[in-house]
């Protein structure tokens, strides 16, 4: 097989071991049953047409046109030992996945395809900068990160602010039961508290908008400047999308981290269940409304509105909940063929009603 580069340090003998990449006895058993003769490895970067795959001691650049499926960063694979240039013979079971729905432009039925952005992530690091606290953005990032089993909220750039209480006041109602950890990549403050959440063998992924400090955080955790970082723009304080590819790095102790470039808008596959997961407090309140289909607008005995009234829930958070639920429903109509048909029927029926009854006031549903 062609060796693309060897190891974390050029010239180092072995490079990363499978253990450095998070290999476990359970995965070894799985690989042995799926493809006993195969060479196990992990996808550390997936590009169109080829992937970088780390096997014990080496990193290979492998063509993926003949792979059983499009590999994603974080995938465990086995390689065919008989093919010199490397060929993926199997992709092991994905414990978790982050996906995005992409429209098939060539397909007039409007069907969508699932693009797996990263696989086998155990813990999402949702990154927010202390200098620009934005609970609404955090809600969206948590929704994007919902594909991981667990999430922690990392508040970066702690060295640039003096008011620590503001971090808690602004973000804790949103982070809820998830750990909220302020850190500074500059001074190292908080990094050990963050590391305490990294169990041996887990795969982490950094989520967050451009410029919030994801790559700088990974460098601080690595203790070396491996990732390129970029100064934020002076005019609007936004990032420059410095990181453009998703890449996996070992942090030691079998812990690995994937630097995820900022995902624009909510193009991820977000379900109403995922929204309820992120807005657990609102969902719990809603269970106490008189009507099961309460829209929490003006209905009698609405437990959600009562909580807003009592100051236990902010209007902003309720508004975000409604908005994201609407977006999830809209996306579901686009992506789910059954839902799409139901929506088309509804639109046709609406058209028939309108022809029968042209009074616009009575068309409201």
Ligand X SMILES: Nc1nc2c(ncn2[C@@H]2O[C@H](COP(=O)(O)OP(=O)(O)OP(=O)(O)O)[C@@H](O)[C@H]2O)c(=O)[nH]1
Pick one of 51, 175, 243, 335: the residue that binds Mg ion (CB under 5 A).
243
Q: How far is the CB of 144 from ligand X (least distance, A)?
A: 13
Pick one of 67, 294, 307, 318: the residue that binds Zn ion (CB under 5 A).
294
- The interface partner of residue 56, options being Zn ion, Mg ion, ligand X, none and the CB cut-off 5 to 8 Å by kind, is none
Q: How far is the CB of 342 from Zn ion (least distance, A)?
A: 24
Q: Which is nearer to ligand X, 159 or 343 (CB)?
A: 159
- The interface partner of residue 186, options being ligand X, Zn ion, Mg ion, none and the CB cut-off 5 to 8 Å by kind, is ligand X
- Token representation of residue 271: 């379900």
Q: How far is the CB of 30 from ligand X (least distance, A)?
A: 33
- Asked if 296 is part of the footprint of Zn ion (rule: CB under 5 A), the reply reads yes
- The interface partner of residue 210, options being ligand X, Mg ion, Zn ion, none and the CB cut-off 5 to 8 Å by kind, is ligand X
183-222 footprint of Mg ion as x/- string (CB under 5 A): -------------------------------xx-------
Give contact residues for Mg ion (rule: CB under 5 A). Answer: 214-215, 242-243
Contact residues toward Zn ion (CB under 5 A) are 289, 294, 296, 302, 304
């Amino acid at each position: 097989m062609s060796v693309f580069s060897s190891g974390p340090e050029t010239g180092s003998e072995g490079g990363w071991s499978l253990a450095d990449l998070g290999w476990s006895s359970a995965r070894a058993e799985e690989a042995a049953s799926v493809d006993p003769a195969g060479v196990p490895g992990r996808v550390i970067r997936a590009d169109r047409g080829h992937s970088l795959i780390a096997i014990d001691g080496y990193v290979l650049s492998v063509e993926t046109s003949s792979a059983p499926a499009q590999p994603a960063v974080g995938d465990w694979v086995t390689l065919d030992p008989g093919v010199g240039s490397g060929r993926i013979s199997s992709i092991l079971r994905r414990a978790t996945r982050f996906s995005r729905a992409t429209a098939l432009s060539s397909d007039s039925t409007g069907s969508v395809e699932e693009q797996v952005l990263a696989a086998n992530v155990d813990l999402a690091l949702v990154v927010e900068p202390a200098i620009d606290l934005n609970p609404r953005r955090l809600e969206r990032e948590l929704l994007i990160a919902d594909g991981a089993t667990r999430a922690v909220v990392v508040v970066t750039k702690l060295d640039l602010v003096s008011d620590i209480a503001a971090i808690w006041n602004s973000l804790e109602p949103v982070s809820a039961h998830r750990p909220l950890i302020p850190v500074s990549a500059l001074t190292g403050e908080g990094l050990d508290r963050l590391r305490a959440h990294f169990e041996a063998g887990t795969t982490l992924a950094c989520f967050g908008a451009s410029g919030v400090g994801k790559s700088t955080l990974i460098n601080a955790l690595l203790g070396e400047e491996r990732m390129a970082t970029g100064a934020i723009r002076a005019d609007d304080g936004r990032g420059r999308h410095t990181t453009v590819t998703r890449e996996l790095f070992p942090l030691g102790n079998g812990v690995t981290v994937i630097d995820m470039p900022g995902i624009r808008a909510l193009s991820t596959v977000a379900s109403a269940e995922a929204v309820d997961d992120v807005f657990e407090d609102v969902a719990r309140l809603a269970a106490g409304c008189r009507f099961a289909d309460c829209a929490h607008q003006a209905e009698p005995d609405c437990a959600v509105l009562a909580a807003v009234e009592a100051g236990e829930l902010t209007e902003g958070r309720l508004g975000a909940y409604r908005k994201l639920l609407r977006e999830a429903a809209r996306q579901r109509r686009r992506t789910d063929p059954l839902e799409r048909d139901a929506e088309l029927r509804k639109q046709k029926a609406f058209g028939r009603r309108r022809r029968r009854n042209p009074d616009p006031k009575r068309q409201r549903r």
